[in-house]
Amino acid sequence: MSPANGRTRLTRGVFSIEDQQLTLPDPIALDTSFVVEALLATQPLHDVCDAFLRRIFDSGASVVTSELLRIELAETAFAIAMKERWGRRWRAHRTDGRSRRRAARLLHDTVSRYEALLTPVDHFPVPLGDVTATAITFMADYGMASYDAAHAAAAVSAGAETIVTLDTGFALLPSTQLTMYTDRSRLTSCRAKRPH
C-alpha cells in the first residue's frame, strides 16, 4: 500500500505474517507470543498464526527458539486455563486444587504439542546462559523487557535475522539487529516504536 503522495511507506523491518508474498528466511526465530496463538485454538489469532507456522514448516526453514520459550509457554497455558475459570481474579486462585488440575492438563498438553510440532523440523533451542550478556545489552541499550531481550539475543546468537512475534516490545530493537514478522494489526505500532 502506498501513501497518497506516492512514496512507499517505510517498513522499518516490520512485516505482516498475513502477506503471502513474505519471504521466509532460514533460520527463523519464534517468540512465545506467536507460538501460544499458533498452538491454542481458543486464542484470537490462532488461525493466522497456525497458518504461518505451517508455512514456515512447509518451507523447510530451520527454527530457532530460546530455551525460555518452553517455560513461558507452560506458564501462559496455565494462566489461560485459570483465566477461563476465574477471569481477572485468577491469580488469587492459582493454588486452588480443582482449578489447578484443569490448568495443569492444558499446560502439559500444550507443551507436549509444542515438542511434537518441532520434531520434524531442524530446531535450535538456544540455552539462556549462552545469551545472558547479549540480553542484558539489549535491555540497557534499547529498554527491552528481560524476556523479550532473551528471545532476541537467542535469535541473534543463532544467526536468525528475523523473529516471528506478536509482542510489540521487540520493536524497540533496531531493524539492523532483527527483522520482525507480526500480524497486520501490530504493524503500525511496531513501525512507530522502531528506532530511526
In a domain, 82, yes or no: no
In a domain, 114, yes or no: no
Q: How confident is the model at residue 186 (pLDDT cuts 50, 70, 90)?
A: very high
In a domain, 110, yes or no: no
Chain center to CA of 116: 18
What letter represents residue 11's amino acid?
T
pLDDT at 9 (0 to 100): 58
In a domain, 95, yes or no: no
* Mean pLDDT along residues 134-161: 97
In a domain, 75, yes or no: no
Phi, psi of 16 (to 5 degrees): -90, 135
Q: Total domain count for the chain?
A: 1
Q: How confident is the model at residue 169 (pLDDT cuts 50, 70, 90)?
A: very high
Contact 129, 66 (CB under 8 A): no
Which domain covers residue 189, as residue numbers? Answer: 14-68+122-193
In a domain, 167, yes or no: yes
Mean pLDDT of the chain: 91
**Residue 51 predicted with pLDDT over 80:** yes
pLDDT in tens, 16-49: 999 999 999 999 999 999 999 999 999 999 999 9
What letter represents residue 120's amino acid?
P
- Residue 50 sits in a domain whose CATH number is 3.40.50.1010
What letter represents residue 84's amino acid?
E
